[in-house]
Amino acid sequence: MRKNRSHATVGAHAVAGVLLLGTVLPFAWMVLSSFKTPAELNGADKQLLPSGLYLGNYEAVADTNFFTYFLNSVIVAAGTTTIALLLAILAGYGFARFTFVGNRGMLLIVVAAQMFPAVMLAIPLFITVKTLGLLDSLVGLIVVYISFALPLCIWLMRNYFLAIPVETEEAAFIDGCSRLRALWKVVLPPALPGVMAASVFTIIQVWEEFLYANTFIDTDDKRTLSVGLNSLIGEFTTDWGRLLAAGVLVMIPVLAIFGYLQRYVTQIASGGVKG
């Protein structure tokens, strides 16, 4: 039996190795190639490694609107996360602590709200945003992004608040604390991991979002990263060097944030089952 087990472990290591290779290799290839000269990228003699640390591709990124796209994404992510979380903390607390008529029904609506196809919302939202005069503005984009950020944030916050014993805030009430103050001072601090998780999830989704940003933004200066980089791909498909350098630059902050908050990310993904 012992032999059998070590056999299985060897197999598992082999499978893990193949999976790791398949995951890492494309990223590694992008990073390596971003340091290749145009001749090396298009030349017939393909080399695995770049001949030197050629930085021309990175310099070329500065000639595009890349950093404007980047900044726009940061603005939209910050705005969406702040507003969605403020609303979700209140609502999540409300769902966790009050029983009232329509409680379950409203919670069901929150869950169902995550299931509507984005394309379905895009058409009426387009008309609404246009009527409000918010077409081609980052503010309009933030308003629209709350539609996908808010339901998930409410759900996450509710689950975190449920795990916090009611006694913590009851003690604060006795000390003369109002409910809102107790929520802020006593209930929220232990639920901070939930706030972090909800923020990470919102930021990932905003970073990713393409459909609405592509539809509601016309001016190049207001494009977000997804749309901006995608337009560059269309424009420079033969100039891979500059695109790959831009890709590496997109990758760095994503990996930095992920490395720092990695446990929250996996926690949510697995939280789906524990609910």
Alpha carbons 84 and 77: distance in angstroms, whole number = 10
Is position 262 an interface residue for other proteins (rule: CB under 8 A)? yes
HEC profile for 57-71? HHHHHCCCCHHHHHH
Is position 1 an interface residue for other proteins (rule: CB under 8 A)? yes
Q: Which of 100, 105, 219, 252 binds other proteins (CB under 8 A)?
A: 100
Tokens 């009430």 belong to residue: 173
**Is 113 or 190 the residue whose CB approaches other proteins more closely?**
113
Is position 58 an interface residue for other proteins (rule: CB under 8 A)? no
Is position 8 an interface residue for other proteins (rule: CB under 8 A)? yes
Judge whether 220 and 235 are in contact, CB under 8 Å: no
**Is 59 or 260 the residue whose CB approaches other proteins more closely?**
260
Judge whether 111 and 151 are in contact, CB under 8 Å: yes
Q: Between 110 and 149, how does the x/- string for binding to other proteins read (CB under 8 A)?
A: x-xx-xxxxxxxxxxxxxx--------------xx-xx--
Q: How far is CA 226 from CA 54, 114, 150, 151, 221, in A?
A: 26, 21, 21, 23, 13
Is position 273 an interface residue for other proteins (rule: CB under 8 A)? yes
Q: Which of 60, 76, 77, 91 binds other proteins (CB under 8 A)?
A: 91
Is position 250 an interface residue for other proteins (rule: CB under 8 A)? yes
Is position 106 an interface residue for other proteins (rule: CB under 8 A)? yes
Q: Which of 74, 177, 196, 211 binds other proteins (CB under 8 A)?
A: 211
Backbone angles phi, psi at 178, to 5 degrees: -75, 165
| Binders of other proteins in range 9-28 (CB under 8 A) | 9, 12-13, 15-16, 19-20, 22-24, 26-27
Alpha carbons 64 and 74: distance in angstroms, whole number = 18
Is position 184 an interface residue for other proteins (rule: CB under 8 A)? no
**Is 14 or 55 the residue whose CB approaches other proteins more closely?**
14
Q: Which of 156, 240, 242, 264 binds other proteins (CB under 8 A)?
A: 240
CA atoms within 13 A of residue 28's CA, in its CB half-sphere: 8
Q: How far is the CB of 238 from other proteins (least distance, A)?
A: 8
Is position 255 an interface residue for other proteins (rule: CB under 8 A)? yes
Q: Which of 70, 93, 155, 264 binds other proteins (CB under 8 A)?
A: 93
Judge whether 151 and 110 are in contact, CB under 8 Å: yes
Q: How far is the CB of 120 from other proteins (least distance, A)?
A: 4
**Is 219 or 237 the residue whose CB approaches other proteins more closely?**
237
**For residue 98, how many other CB atoms are within 10 A of its CB?**
8
Alpha helical stretches, state H, the chain: 2-33, 38-42, 56-61, 66-97, 103-112, 118-131, 138-162, 167-174, 179-182, 192-208, 211-216, 225-235, 240-274
Q: How far is the CB of 171 from other proteins (least distance, A)?
A: 8
